[in-house]
Amino acid sequence: MTSKPLENSDELGNFVVDDSLIAAYLEQNPDFFERHPELLQRMRWRHDSRGAVSLVERQQQVLRQRVTQLEEEITELMTTARRNEELFGRYSELYVQLLGCRTVAEVMQALQRTFSEQLNMPGLSLKLFDSPLELAEQFSFAADTHKQLLSKRFAQSPIYLGRLTGDEQRLLFPDEAIASVALLLLGEHGELGMLAIGNHDASHFEPAMDTLLVRQLQALLSKILPPLLAHHEAR
């Protein structure tokens, strides 16, 4: 490789060298130190704990730090991948259980097993809007109480991920100190009801997180609940 001259001058024509020129020259001539190996032994960098070190030692140190950083990133990615695999498996098992449910109570039991027992989600609430059926109190949600919540949390999407106000929390989870939630409107147009999943961790449910699994759950519940409610009414 042919090296390029390092040239610069001030207004008086004096030769001037600054850091940017040196950096640019070395970038354009990466074999510079191969052509001048004696410089590597003479150059020194100040190290906070070790004093002066050579360029080679400094390069080795930087490479070791980069390897450590990459190892930590890989470990984090593997941990996330294992967590996602476990989560996908739990949801898949839940879908099969829900398809076998014959009553609303069985649906709630299946949801409880998955979220409360397996996924450590302490808050779970299934609310049906203005149902004409005689359902347990835990499943009922009157229009005057849910409309305000709907208008505020579902203005842009039938899924809300994030935090609740104190009043909203007491309405959905009166016995749990829930810090973040996933709220899913159920029904073709959100008319059927709402599933609320809560966690003590304020950062567990966030608006930016992926919604694939909860959207699938939302779609499945919206399909299986109407026939169960119709069967309940027929009895």
CB neighbour class for 102 (10 Å; exposed up to 12, middle 13-18, buried from 19): exposed
Q: Average per-residue pLDDT in the chain?
A: 80
- Three-state DSSP at 146 gives helix
- Asked if residue 111 belongs to a domain, the reply is yes
Residue given tokens 């409360």 in the structure block: 116
- Asked if residue 182 belongs to a domain, the reply is yes
| DSSP for residue 209 | S
Determine the pLDDT at residue 220: 95
- Asked if residue 9 belongs to a domain, the reply is no
- Asked if residue 8 belongs to a domain, the reply is no
Convert the pLDDT of each residue in 85-114 to its tens digit. Answer: 888 999 999 999 999 999 888 998 999 999
The mean pLDDT value for 149-172 works out to: 85
Q: Which residue has the higher pLDDT, 15 or 58?
A: 58
Q: Which residue has the higher pLDDT, 143 or 119?
A: 119
Q: Which domain holds residue 200?
A: 100-234
Determine the pLDDT at residue 182: 94
Structure tokens of 2? 């042919």
- Asked if residue 106 belongs to a domain, the reply is yes
Number of domains making up the chain = 1
| CATH code, domain carrying 117 | 3.30.450.40
- Asked if residue 46 belongs to a domain, the reply is no
- pLDDT bucket at 12, cuts 50 / 70 / 90: very low
Determine the pLDDT at residue 216: 95
Convert the pLDDT of each residue in 18-43 to its tens digit. Answer: 788 888 888 888 888 778 777 766 66
Count Cβ neighbours within 10 Å for each residue of 58-89 and write b for 16 or more, e otherwise. eeeeeeeeeeeeeeeeeeeeeeeeeeeeeeee
Convert the pLDDT of each residue in 167-213 to its tens digit. Answer: 888 878 888 889 999 999 998 888 888 899 999 998 899 999 889 99
Q: Which residue has the higher pLDDT, 220 or 130?
A: 220
- pLDDT bucket at 63, cuts 50 / 70 / 90: confident
The mean pLDDT value for 47-55 works out to: 57
Q: Which residue has the higher pLDDT, 174 or 16?
A: 174
Separation CA 129–CA 12 (nearest Å): 84
- Asked if residue 218 belongs to a domain, the reply is yes
Determine the pLDDT at residue 148: 73
Convert the pLDDT of each residue in 106-128 to its tens digit. Answer: 998 999 999 988 998 888 888 88
- pLDDT bucket at 139, cuts 50 / 70 / 90: low
- Asked if residue 65 belongs to a domain, the reply is no
